[in-house]
Amino acid sequence: MTEDKLDPYRDDFGLLIEAGFVAAKQLDEKSSIALFEAASLLDENSAAPMVGVGYVHLNKLELKKAEKYFKDALEVDPDHHLAKALLGIAYLLNEEKRPAGEKLLQEAMEKTDDPTIKKLVETSMTWVESDLKKKKAPFFEEE
């Protein structure tokens, strides 16, 4: 068999994903997307790059785009608990989809062993109860 030109770089897949999330946290969208796209070239069957791009869109509150990437990731890997949790968070921001978001978050919580995802879900559910379910935003409440 002939060696693929990308073979020497396949072990860097995880580094590209991590670097993509670091770039996203630094609000460097261009670099973040490029890193996730590079990772997807190394592993076309991985949901991780889709989750990363969805995360970039979620941070920008581009909910429809974020939802599409998270749904695509879940089609590739139905057990991708981070994709499920992030899709749930995107749904929380839409009052009509909020119940579905809560359900997705609960499913992610029940099925994952990852403490980071569990903490993300716990924080999100606290946010639902403390802010999103109130009739008024906390900063508009009368004293």
Task: Judge whether 81 and 112 are in contact, CB under 8 Å.
Answer: yes
CATH code of the domain containing 117: 1.25.40.10
Domain assignment of residue 3, yes or no: no
pLDDT tens for residues 22-52? Answer: 999 999 999 999 999 999 999 999 999 999 9
Q: How many domains does the chain have?
A: 1
pLDDT given for residue 143 in this prediction: 43
Task: Judge whether 18 and 55 are in contact, CB under 8 Å.
Answer: no
Radius of gyration of the chain (CA): 17
Domain assignment of residue 135, yes or no: no
Range of the structural domain that residue 44 is part of: 9-129
pLDDT at 11 over 80: yes
CA distances from 99 to 67, 85, 128, 142 (A): 15, 13, 10, 28
pLDDT at 136 over 80: no
Domain assignment of residue 137, yes or no: no
pLDDT tens for residues 60-104? Answer: 999 999 999 999 999 999 999 999 999 999 999 998 999 999 999
